[in-house]
Structure formats: C-alpha cells, structure tokens
C-alpha cells in the first residue's frame, strides 16, 4: 500500500511547470493535524527565479496556517532517489526542524531519513 504522503507528492508532480529542464518534482508536507500540503516545481526562463517543489509545499502550508510539521515526501522520476537541494534543506530545517524525509520515485522505491542526516550542522535562528 502506498503512503498517502508519497501519493500526494506524486499527484503534485503532475502539475509541475518544468518547461526548460523537463525535471518534474512533487513534494508533500504533513502538518501535526495530519493535513497534507503539496507543491511542485515551477520553473522560469531565468532559472534563478525557479521555485522547487519542497519550498512551494512549505510556503503553501504556511500560507494556509500550518506551523508544525511531521513528515515531508519528495518524488521525482529518477532511478537514484532525489533529495532536496541546499536551499530547500535550509527552508525545511527552519520550518520543520529534524523532520522525517521520505524520498521516492515513480517505481515505488523509497528511502526514509531524518533531515539532520541530509543537513548536518544546519544554520537556524539559534545562531542569531
């Protein structure tokens, strides 16, 4: 049986606007109430203004009033599971802390880890 969070990320991936790279990514974040918020990557011709799926999901959740999160799923159509980029790791750390990250692909391969494993010695407000 497929995890609901991963299924939501797979569905969100279909909405990706990946006109330039053709690299569609979907993400889903679950808040402490169990609600799932989704996001997909949205590219721009300048690339620098592109927003990754993980950040879209977090920003969307924040805009809908969610403040505490339990899990994040990231899905791409790759053989090697695709982790969040550095910018997404920073945003995830600041809004989610050492949350569970589920990486998955369209063939059903998954790997689960804590964000701290992907992002050791993260910078956050505790340093300010």
Residues 10, 26: contact at Cβ < 8 Å? yes
Residues 97, 44: contact at Cβ < 8 Å? no
Q: Provide the sign of the torsion angle of the four alpha carbons 60, 63, 64, 65, taken in this order.
A: positive
Q: From the candidates 54, 64, 94, 111, which is the catalytic residue?
A: 54
User: What stretch of H or E contains 30?
Assistant: strand 25-31
Residues 12, 24: contact at Cβ < 8 Å? no
Would you call 94 a catalytic residue per the annotation? no
Residues 95, 66: contact at Cβ < 8 Å? no
Take residue 40 and report the two structure tokens written for it: 């997909």
Residues with catalytic roles: 54
């Amino acid at each position: 049986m497929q995890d609901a969070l991963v299924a939501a990320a797979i569905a969100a991936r279909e909405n990706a606007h990946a006109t330039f790279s053709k690299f569609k990514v979907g993400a889903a974040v679950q808040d402490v109430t169990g609600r799932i918020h989704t996001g997909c990557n949205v590219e721009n011709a300048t690339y620098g203004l592109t927003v990754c799926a993980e950040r879209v999901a977090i920003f969307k959740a924040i805009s809908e009033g969610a403040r505490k999160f339990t899990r994040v799923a990231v899905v791409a159509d790759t053989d090697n599971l695709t982790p969040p980029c550095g910018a997404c790791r920073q945003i995830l750390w600041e809004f989610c802390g050492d949350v569970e990250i589920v990486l998955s692909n369209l063939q059903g391969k998954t790997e689960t880890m804590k964000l701290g494993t992907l992002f050791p010695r993260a910078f956050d407000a505790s340093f300010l």
